[in-house]
Structure 1
């Protein structure tokens, strides 16, 4: 009998190994289809198949999956956004072609166009920041004048806060718009910029599977003008009123965007007018969030997602309750890593469940102002938030580095 295979389109440094392990635990053989498999050495190290294919071309993916289907019993297809969130739409099209469970590709495509996403949310009455679409500098300046400074400037398509910046005055506005429009930013289509009101207030992330809110995290950023996540707390410290408001507005987003299959993560600010939706992402959260959710709630989102992918029944019941706090290590300058140490000492602190350092001495540091900036992270867990915070602080204080 043919071996049951799971096809994974592209790769994720954070979630990829989790999906490989979950697939193997479910008796599946993982096969990765990647445009640049030499950049995915971590996949090969797991002993799974890695196939080079142009993942931007649906026809090539169909041909490769058909070839694999002659060798394996393809149980399901999933994928990772990487630097292109439309991978989720491509996965949906592959699933439709092979009559497998998957996301609705048209819904994902609408959601990945942030301007269209804004329009659909506004039409449904979902609270969002004021926004304008700009194609040139004159549009940007006019939009900022209409909305009023400070504003957020960001590409209308993108992921991981790439190209997103807070512009507090006209000089910052012109500088960042010039950067985006001047050929420095990589565009997958014609340049389109969103100019948005800066919604101020605590930041939360609702993690959803299907139509069910599983976890809500409190998130904090590093220093402005960029939006690089520095800290996550699961579960977020919320009043019943706030929890209900975030849950209701999150489910309203799913209805407005015709989502509701598989994972979705929704970023929300709690402002003086209540919850305001910043962004809806039709994918599994990155940055180690699935592991933190499992530690905090006992729900394995990756395994439950794969059960959905292969048509098995899910189990999203919460099995325990703990507080997980994670801290990203953010460099304060560009340069060369002189030294970095303390990781093993931090990992030995009771209550610390993971310490990861992404860099080694002599490696260059070039900050991008997005998800690529952290040089490591620390995760702590305990029954209470105060205790988890204390554990995390003790561990982080043991890690030091220098950059020249």
Structure 2
């Protein structure tokens, strides 16, 4: 929750305490800027950056990532600085074997770590990496944990864009239309719809409240995004309000 003044801060604390007055509340500085995600894997101390993506973040009641673009549009200097930052962080936490994803914002020519998780990013991430690079990243993570050396070799390079669907009002899902039409759009590789008829849908308060996505590929980042957004218009959630 973003608080830009003392009144909003107090209101946010009150709202969070209504959910649970026992759980701790994390307060942190808000850093404004483009957000990026890095997927990395470490085997016997050797770090490999699998991919860097740009994220499109919905900034309403909560911060929800709605879009992922691969590859990220970074200059050579930005990438070099990010590589240094990632290596510094991984060395600091002492990771010798494992995978994780890190989220950053780039502000005033500096990389600021927003979040780090000891797993692959959820949702469509493995699909994004596969369609963009040919790497089955989950398979390589499993190999790592079986004691085998992961093989992170790109055998194709395509631009990928994924866009998620959320809803504006709470209600009971009656039906979803447009999935098959979305699949027929140029560049579309994946269309996924999560909820079934009768599910209760709500406006997004967490990443779990993203109910569908379209994944598209193209030769350019702009085309991949355009293809995904055009196909996304086909998907409609028919909801009976609560």
**TM-score normalised over the length of structure 1:** 0.55
1:359 paired with 2:195, answer yes
User: 1:304-337: CA deviations, max 9, x gaps?
Assistant: 1111111222211211110110000011121223
Partner of 2:229: 393
1:198 paired with 2:30, answer yes
Greater relative CO, 1 or 2 (CA 8 Å, sep 6+): 2
Contact 1:334 1:365 in 2 (8 A): yes
Count, aligned residues: 236
**TM-score normalised over the length of structure 2:** 0.90
Q: Within 5 A, what are the aligned runs for 1:102-141?
A: none
- Residues 270/176 of structure 1: CA separation in 2 closer, same or farther (3 Å cut): same
- Residues 201/245 of structure 1: CA separation in 2 closer, same or farther (3 Å cut): same
Aligned-pair CA distance for 1:390: 2.1
1:299 and 1:185 mapped to 2: Cα distance? 42
Correspondent of 1:333 among 152, 158, 169:
169
Partner of 1:60: none
Aligned-pair CA distance for 1:248: 1.4
Larger radius of gyration: 1
Partner of 2:92: 256
1:362 and 1:175 mapped to 2: Cα distance? 33
Q: Which has the higher strand share?
A: 2
Q: Within 5 A, what are the aligned runs for 1:50-129?
A: none
Q: Which has the higher helix share?
A: 1
Contact 1:346 1:355 in 2 (8 A): yes
1:185 and 1:271 mapped to 2: Cα distance? 33
Runs of 4+ in 1 over 4 A off after TM superposition: none
User: 1:327-380: CA deviations, max 9, x gaps?
Assistant: 000111212234421011001113211111122444321345111111111100
Farther-moved stretch of structure 1 (251-260 vs 335-344) = 335-344
User: 1:20-71: CA deviations, max 9, x gaps?
Assistant: xxxxxxxxxxxxxxxxxxxxxxxxxxxxxxxxxxxxxxxxxxxxxxxxxxxx
1:307 and 1:339 mapped to 2: Cα distance? 40
- Residues 328/370 of structure 1: CA separation in 2 closer, same or farther (3 Å cut): same
RMSD of aligned C-alpha atoms? 1.8
SS in 2 for 1:176: helix
User: 1:270-306: CA deviations, max 9, x gaps?
Assistant: 1124211111112121112112111111222111111
